[in-house]
Amino acid sequence: MKLHNLILTAGLVIISQFSLQAQEPRVALVLSGGGAKGFAHIGVLKVLEEEGLPISIIVGNSIGSIIGGVAATGYSAKEIELMAKSQNWDELLFDYVSRKYKSDNLKTAEQRYFLELPLNKDTEELELPSGVVSGQNVLNLFCKFMANVPDSVDFRKLPISFACIGTNLETGQEEVLMHGFLPKAVLASMAIPGMFSPVNFNGLYLVDGGIVNNYPSDVAQMMGADIIIGVDLQTKPLAKEQLNSADKIFGQIASFTDLEKGKCNRAIVDLNIKPNMEGYNMSSFTQEAVDTLIIRGEKAARQKITEIRELISKHNLEYQAVDRKYVEPKKYRIEQISLDNKLKIKEPYILDLSNLEVNKLYSASELQNSMYKLYGEGNFAMVYPSLIEKKDKYQLNIHTKLKQSSMLKIGFGANSADGVNLNLNYSFQDFRKLINLFTIDFKASYNPRVIITAETHNYKLPGIGLKIDAQHTEQGLFKLGKEKGKYKIFNANADIYTYKRFKNSSSILQLGLRYDFDSSNFSTENGTIIKEQSDRTQTSRFSAYSSFHFDSFDKYFLPKKGISFHAEFSINEVINSTLKSIPIVYANFEIVAPINNTLAFTGEIYHRAVYRNDYPGGLANYASDKYSAFNNYSLMYAGQYGLSFTDKIATCSKIGLRLKIANKHFLTPQVSILTDMDNWGEMNNADTKWLIGLNYSRMTILGPIDLSFNMPTNDEHLVFQGGIGFKF
């Protein structure tokens, strides 16, 4: 009997313990939207973790869905802080992709154009894009950090139960997102209208949830929360004197959209934490803002530390370790790759561009880089991965959204050679077509130019292209520092070529045949100016050439590091002339080597040699600044007025030290040397001129500013050259 009572008592104790556990209140954390202000959420999370507060539910909106979604998968507040501080937010939010992943076409376009407008494929009429960016980068970042999460999951069954809010663009209704592909749900919740394109998620067309419910404590209550802690990023309305930028105006409008619901939702929270947002707004995505706002979030939470501890004590809340099964880094053995069949994409095409192979191990970062390679080709508006586990092996699903095939690009600028220039581009790009790239580039300026390019590329074979390039140039012609007159030249060439880009590198090998025609008002022979004449001198020639190009610069303007090397060897045959088989070698090398965070070494070398004693003026070497060149083999000499012909072997070198000032401004003291001679045996007696100069550069939203002041040693005049905006 005593044994029976003992067993019964023990059973009641066990049952009561389970009952107590089942009755332990569920704590929900509500993270409101607010753009960059949401970095304060991380600081709040750090304090809650330190206090051992068990969080059972997270509901987030916009930036709150990002922080909350990552936390719900099992990441600690410290890990999330490191993630936030390690990102380049400008590049992340504006879909910047490293140049090493970009096609040559995109590399060229970013130097000439700043605005891209789609053309309707049916009407060929211009359209405004649905957003400034598609969200390619942020989505792939989420895919990287959430790679272990199943591609279709109930968010309530994550290590911390989770939900986020989206706005249905078709109905205007609030959508609570609790199931599906987690990275895309988070993107939908933060898709600020106008900035991000709307997101298709589970058949819904969604934008930022802050429009309908920016402080979703009611959703936390619906999910069974007994205690609700909210982090409120709402600020007081700005006065008219403060509404002086588009982001502030948009933020103000957004804050008005859910005023009534916001008041109701604030009334049902048990503890409201309100960080100080003074001096920051939704677009404050700077490193300084990230650091400061995290600290302010911590400070706001510590000001509520008494209330936090009272909640823990009153409800006997005990911290439980969060499951980290979705967080631990791993490699994925890919046994199968699945594509969007509705786009009729051939698997070998994707494998060739992305360098992916089946039955190989890949990390989440490596898969992310493969997506960047596909995106960098310019065919897709969005490319992202998801994984399906199959007994320690994985099926990789590559999701794509095609970019509009026809585009109009616009750029403009002004420089010391062209005056004002307007750059226009029409491009058609579709990898499924036989001619998968067709572009027309036009520069309207004092020295107009047009380039027409058509290329076809089969993944199994090298690409084939045709390019026609025509330009009229009128520049001052100088010899020994004195102007000889205005050099007027029209030159055109037609180029048929084949090319091969090497995998896992930025190297391209090209072979081609070229026809050149030029017509000028000066008679020249072997680089020597004979006279100006009323009748134009015309020259036609064929050439066969091979070239090699390597480019590892991280940016086209003001790169932080990298090298660029281009070399070309050609054999030229002049038509209707006894001048045959004229070999020419051209090469240029550029380097930027960082010394520390503010100082970098810069260097450039241009070399060209004509290996015949007699050759027409159209093949002569010439020096110019970078704005005055009329073909692709100029010797870039910063202190050159207009154009100046040189001897048949010529080399121009420039070295400098680039100093970063106040983060955006760059000053570069530099020295340039130009050497030319008729043959290698004259090296000791070669003509040499050199200069010292100072260059100022910075990047703006409307393009580069690049200004140089140079003092040639053989000329008492200071030479100014420069440009503002995009250069053709």
Which of the pair, 481 or 515, is modelled with greater confidence? 515
The closest alpha carbon to 28, from 202, 174, 230, 165, belongs to 230
Residue 526 scores a pLDDT above 80: no
Share of the chain above pLDDT 70, in %: 89
Q: What is the pLDDT of residue 204?
A: 96
Gap between the Cα atoms of 191 and 119, Å rounded = 23
Q: What is the pLDDT of residue 680?
A: 87
Mean pLDDT of 59-75: 96
If one counts every other C-beta atom within 10 angstroms of the C-beta of residue 684, the result is 6
Please answer whether residues 272 and 20 qualify as being in contact, where contact means their C-beta atoms are separated by less than 8 angstroms. no
Residue 19 scores a pLDDT above 60: no
Sign of CA dihedral 500, 506, 507, 508: positive
Mean pLDDT of 77-92: 94
Indicate the residue type of 49. Answer: E
- pLDDT category at 14 given cuts 50, 70, 90 is very low
Mean pLDDT of 445-467: 91
Which of the pair, 416 or 123, is modelled with greater confidence? 416
Q: What is the pLDDT of residue 3?
A: 47
Mean pLDDT of 69-98: 94
Which of the pair, 475 or 594, is modelled with greater confidence? 594
In sequence order, the 6+-apart residues with CB closer than 8 A to the CB of 78 are 46
Residue 527 scores a pLDDT above 70: no
| Residue bearing tokens 């009729």 | 344
Mean pLDDT of 433-461: 92
Structure confidence by residue, pLDDT tens digits, 426-445: 999 988 888 999 999 999 99
Structure confidence by residue, pLDDT tens digits, 230-275: 999 987 766 776 676 666 666 666 666 666 787 889 999 999 999 9
Please answer whether residues 196 and 202 qualify as being in contact, where contact means their C-beta atoms are separated by less than 8 angstroms. no
Active site residue 161: no
Please count the CA atoms within 13 angstroms of the CA of 682 that sit on its side-chain side. Answer: 13
Structure confidence by residue, pLDDT tens digits, 668-685: 999 999 999 988 888 888
Gap between the Cα atoms of 704 and 591, Å rounded = 19
Which of the pair, 480 or 155, is modelled with greater confidence? 155
Q: What is the pLDDT of residue 100?
A: 86
Gap between the Cα atoms of 360 and 350, Å rounded = 16
Sheet with 380-390: list strands edge to edge: 360-362, 332-339, 393-402, 380-390
- The region that residue 172 occupies, defined by phi over 0 for left and psi between -120 and 50 for alpha, beta otherwise, is left
Mean pLDDT of 457-469: 88
Distances, alpha carbon 2 to alpha carbons 8, 359, 550, in Å: 10, 65, 88
- pLDDT category at 4 given cuts 50, 70, 90 is very low
The tokens of 191 are what?
């898709």
Mean pLDDT of 365-384: 92
Gap between the Cα atoms of 239 and 244, Å rounded = 10
From the list 95, 104, 151, 208, the catalytic residue is 208
Residue 110 scores a pLDDT above 80: yes
Q: What is the pLDDT of residue 457?
A: 83
From the list 32, 56, 62, 624, the catalytic residue is 62
- pLDDT category at 627 given cuts 50, 70, 90 is confident
Q: Count H helices, E strands: the chain?
A: 15, 36
Q: What is the pLDDT of residue 257?
A: 63
Q: What angle do CA 163, 167, 173 make, to 5 degrees?
A: 105
Residue 504 scores a pLDDT above 70: no
Mean pLDDT of 690-698: 94
The tokens of 451 are what?
């380039």
Domains of the chain with bracketed CATH:
27-95+135-238+252-315 (3.40.1090.10), 331-402 (3.10.20.310), 406-725 (2.40.160.50)
Q: What is the pLDDT of residue 12?
A: 38
Structure confidence by residue, pLDDT tens digits, 332-371: 999 988 887 566 666 677 777 788 888 999 999 999 999 9
Q: What is the pLDDT of residue 21?
A: 45
Q: What is the pLDDT of residue 524?
A: 60
Structure confidence by residue, pLDDT tens digits, 559-595: 999 999 999 999 999 988 777 789 999 999 999 999 9
Q: What is the pLDDT of residue 188?
A: 97
Residue 516 scores a pLDDT above 80: yes
Q: What is the pLDDT of residue 477?
A: 73
Structure confidence by residue, pLDDT tens digits, 114-145: 899 998 877 767 888 888 899 999 999 999 99
Please answer whether residues 276 and 302 qualify as being in contact, where contact means their C-beta atoms are separated by less than 8 angstroms. no
**What average pLDDT is seen over the chain?**
88
- pLDDT category at 538 given cuts 50, 70, 90 is confident
The tokens of 579 are what?
């001048």
Active site residue 518: no
Distances, alpha carbon 337 to alpha carbons 59, 125, 357, in Å: 34, 37, 9
Q: What is the pLDDT of residue 246?
A: 65
- pLDDT category at 617 given cuts 50, 70, 90 is confident
